[in-house]
A and B are shown apart, each in its own frame.
Chain A
């Protein structure tokens, strides 16, 4: 079945860039998403990329998609302590189920 995998932990220093990686198996996903979850809260949609795009930039966030390798990454520039959270990679299409990765826990050291 469909699977989304991502590394579990990432630790960076404040001001550095963070890169969170994700691989997926379902090449039919129309969209690929990045969500952020802070402790005790629901998921906040950070950004998403349509499957026919290679890159999307939104302020400090840059999403790169390599369809050939089924690899998705999220780069956070100038990482701040407020960026500490769990980041979920997910794939899905319109009205279809969304498959979530296990989440990457980002620690930002001051």
Chain B
């Protein structure tokens, strides 16, 4: 089946550093990937929609300069949390869909737990 790999699974870093999270589709090409943020005991909050070869579409309230998204190929999207602060600590999850028209739902990575000290 469709597999999405997310790396790293856990990051602990100091306040002010930038952190890059990778999302890869392993056995399919993903024209569209999604980035979500999940707070403890809450649902997923969509941050942005990432389309290969074009700029990401951010949801209202999500800072574009804070959360940089790059989707350079059909199998890789990256989320960079720039100048991270403790309030950015969260669980970040990516998902991908196969090429449009394939009638498949989103496939999720295992998530990245980000802790900013």
Within 8 A of B (CB), among A31-87: 31, 33, 35, 40-45, 48
Number of interface residues, chain B, beta carbon within 8 A: 23
Quick check: A95 and B100 within 8 Å, CB to CB? yes
Which residues does chain B contribute within 8 Å of A102, judged by CB atoms?
42-43
Out of B34, B105, B111, which one reaches A31, CB within 8 Å? B105
Quick check: A100 and B44 within 8 Å, CB to CB? yes
Which residues does chain B contribute within 8 Å of A41, judged by CB atoms?
110-111
Quick check: B108 and A43 within 8 Å, CB to CB? yes
Quick check: B107 and A45 within 8 Å, CB to CB? yes
Quick check: B32 and A35 within 8 Å, CB to CB? no
Instruction: Report the separation of the CA atoms of residues A97 and B44 in the bound assembly, to the nearest whole angstrom.
Output: 12
Out of B44, B95, B100, B113, which one reaches A94, CB within 8 Å? B100
Instruction: Report the separation of the CA atoms of residues A94 and B93 in the bound assembly, to the nearest whole angstrom.
Output: 19
Sorting the interface of chain A by its residue count into under 10, 10 to 19, 20 to 34 or 35 or more gives: 20 to 34
Q: Does B106 contact A (CB under 8 A)?
A: yes
Quick check: A94 and B111 within 8 Å, CB to CB? no
Instruction: Report the separation of the CA atoms of residues A48 and B44 in the bound assembly, to the nearest whole angstrom.
Output: 18
Instruction: Report the separation of the CA atoms of residues A40 and B32 in the bound assembly, to the nearest whole angstrom.
Output: 24
Q: Does B54 contact A (CB under 8 A)?
A: no
- How would residues 22 to 36 of chain A score, 1 for a CB under 8 Å from any chain B CB and 0 otherwise? 000000000101010
Out of B32, B42, B108, which one reaches A44, CB within 8 Å? B108
Given A40-B113, A43-B93, A88-B43, decide whether A94 and B108 contact each other with a Cβ distance below 8 A.
no
Given A94-B101, A98-B46, A102-B43: 15 more A-B contacts, CB < 8 Å: A33-B106, A40-B113, A41-B110, A42-B6, A42-B110, A43-B44, A45-B105, A45-B107, A48-B105, A88-B44, A94-B97, A94-B102, A97-B46, A98-B95, A102-B42
